[in-house]
Structure formats: C-alpha cells, structure tokens
Copies of this chain bind each other. A is one copy, B any other.
Amino acid sequence: MNSRRDFLRQMGGSALAAPLLSQLPTSAHTPADRQLRVALVGLGSYAARVARAMKDCKLAKLVGGVTGTPEKVEKWMAEHGLEKANFYNYQNYDDLKNNPNIDAVYVCLPNAMHHEFVIRAAKAGKHVICEKPMSVTVKEAEEMIAACKKANVKLYLGYRLHFEPHTRELIRLRQSGELGKIMHVNTYDGFRIGDPTQWRLRKNLAGGGALMDVGVYCINGARYATGEEPVWITAQESKTDPVKFKEVDETITFQMGFPSGAIASCATTYNFNNFERLYVIGEKGFVDMSPAFGYGPIKGRTRNGDMNLDTSKMHQTWQMDGLADCILNGTPDPNMTGEEGLKDMKVIEAIYKSIAAGGKKVLI
C-alpha cells in the first residue's frame, strides 16, 4: 500500500481521494504494489505523446503496442525499450488474452474504431483506457460498457484533465462550496485544422468533426464545472468551407440547460484558432481557465488572482499514473469511467438532433 500512499501525497491527495465515485473493487487481474503494464493501441501521434509522458510515470509502465504498420514496431521497440512479444497488429490483437505481461490497453485509434477495439480488449481480459470521444454513437458506448462489465475489466476514458491540477482545483472549489451556487458556464474549444486529408475530416473514421474531437471537452467541462447533468440541449451549426468540411461539422455553438437553471453556453470549431476557455461563474466566485483543455500549460484565474498551480508534468503522466492507481489499488477515479463517456455521447447526439431540428430544444 505504500506506493498508493506515496502517489496520493505526490498528487496533492485530497482531490484524488474524494468520493467522486463509489470505491472500485481491486481487480483480480492486477494485484497491488506493482506497476500497471500498458500497451498502446494505434501508434499515431497521440500514442507517441502518451508514450513520452509515460517515461515519467511511477505506477504505469509502457510495455507494448498494437499497430497496422509493421515498420513502426522496430522503431517503438528501440525508442521505448519494448519487447517484440508485446506487439500486435489489428488481426492478432485478440491474442492479447494469452499475454500475462500486459494488464491494460490504451485505445488511441480514430473514433470510429474505439467500439471494436475496446470490446476486443475486454474479451481478451484486459483493462481498457479509451481516448475521447468514447465512440461515435450512444449505442456503441453502451455496448462498450456492457462488454467491459461482462469481462470484469475496468473501462476509463482518456479524460486526462481530471488529473490536471487546475481542473482538479476547479472541481474542488465547486464541490467545497467556495464558488457558491453555480450560475453559468461559458466554454469553447477549437482550432483551425490543417491537412485536409486527415482522418479527423472523414466521417467514417471520425464520426463527426470539431464537436466529436474538441467540443467534447466543453461538454465534459460544463458537467464537471456544474456537477450537474444537462436536462436540455440546443445547438446551431455554421459551415463556411463546405469543401474541407464536406463530411464533418466545422463550427457548432450549443447550450446545455441544467436542473439548477444554470446554462452552459458552448462553442467548438475546426476553423479558427485562439479558442479555448472554461469560465464558470458561481454566486460567490468564479474560475476562468484559458487555455483550459489543451496539453498545457493550463492557466486559470479566480477572484484571488492567478491560480499558479503545478504545470511541471505532461497531463498524460498524471493521467496514466492516476488511472494505474485506480486499477491497481482501487482508488476512486475522478469521473472518467465509461459511464462518463456515455453521458457525453448522449449530449453529442442531442446536439446533432437539435441542429437538425433548427436549434429546437432537445430534452435529455
């Protein structure tokens, strides 16, 4: 248990230990007091970032990978000191079940592949971390949760910010009552996308555009900023470049109504920069984070001035050590389960539905 205590102390302790979810049982697959051995699924640029971040992890350890590009194996083996026996391709991926040296996979594939590769990992008896967005439909997300439950493996979303100090402090300020009753959220996230041939612009791989990719941060952010679940959604779309954004959404504004009466006013885009913020206003205080969602450094401000919290680590270092602690030691996770991903997927579907209905309110 020492490793867990040390880790909690290192993370700042209180927020991680907060009862965000009911205490999770420690899985039989992963006895305590050792490292979580992870294989990355899909060795693209995001997996490369996770791998770099994991070099500084204490509880999580990169041990393998899954790729459709054989040339990548040697390169990754050399760069990260990995064994060939821990590499798979998309065909023999299911053989993971026979590998006792891999405890969990982190699915970093294009969105539309999450469903299949999460479920196959679950069937192979491995814990799963799935990059956001969870899936491309609500139905898929529900099936992923069911498959992991059936296989008795954990399912977490790659919501790295839940382990990021500014985000954790925002949640703490809200939970402690220091912000007072939450009155409003203003949040947006987006960027001007480059290469027009990338998978993010293909509907069959991405499922959707800016909303799926970065708008999901606003959805998740509005939910952790209020601590409430939306009861209605309205949304509007703008497409100024119908060639580049032929298949997926370019810019979407959307609003989430919460039971308390607070509204989150949100926007997301693939067509302009300087667009990243999470501003939550309570009766007694506010937290204004900008940038709020990117790889950092995150910056935040409260009525007391700049937050000035730890920005010394890559978010994925905190995330992977944090999730390893959840899996290895049963530490409650900070709202990153499959169920959380499903809630965001329900909002995404409601947003597309509202757009199709000319902005009309869609009840959730």
Contact = CB atoms under 8 A, between A and B. Distances in A.
Interface of A: 183-184, 186, 188, 234, 236, 238-240, 251, 253, 255, 257, 260-263, 265-267, 269, 271-275, 281, 283, 286, 303, 354, 357-361
A261 to B, nearest CB: 3
Given A253-B265, A274-B286, 15 more contacts: A183-B251, A183-B271, A183-B272, A184-B251, A184-B267, A184-B275, A186-B267, A188-B265, A236-B257, A239-B261, A240-B261, A255-B359, A265-B265, A273-B281, A274-B281
B240 A263 contact: no
A271 B253 CA distance: 23
Given A183-B271, A184-B269, A360-B360, A260 B234 contact: no
B253 A236 contact: no
16 contacts: A183-B269, A183-B272, A184-B251, A186-B188, A234-B234, A236-B263, A238-B257, A238-B262, A253-B265, A265-B265, A272-B283, A274-B281, A274-B303, A275-B281, A357-B360, A359-B359
Q: How many copies does the complex hold?
A: 2
A285 to B, nearest CB: 9
A359 B275 contact: no
Contacts of A275: 184, 281
5 shortest A-B CB distances, which residue pairs? A240-B261, A183-B272, A234-B359, A358-B361, A238-B261
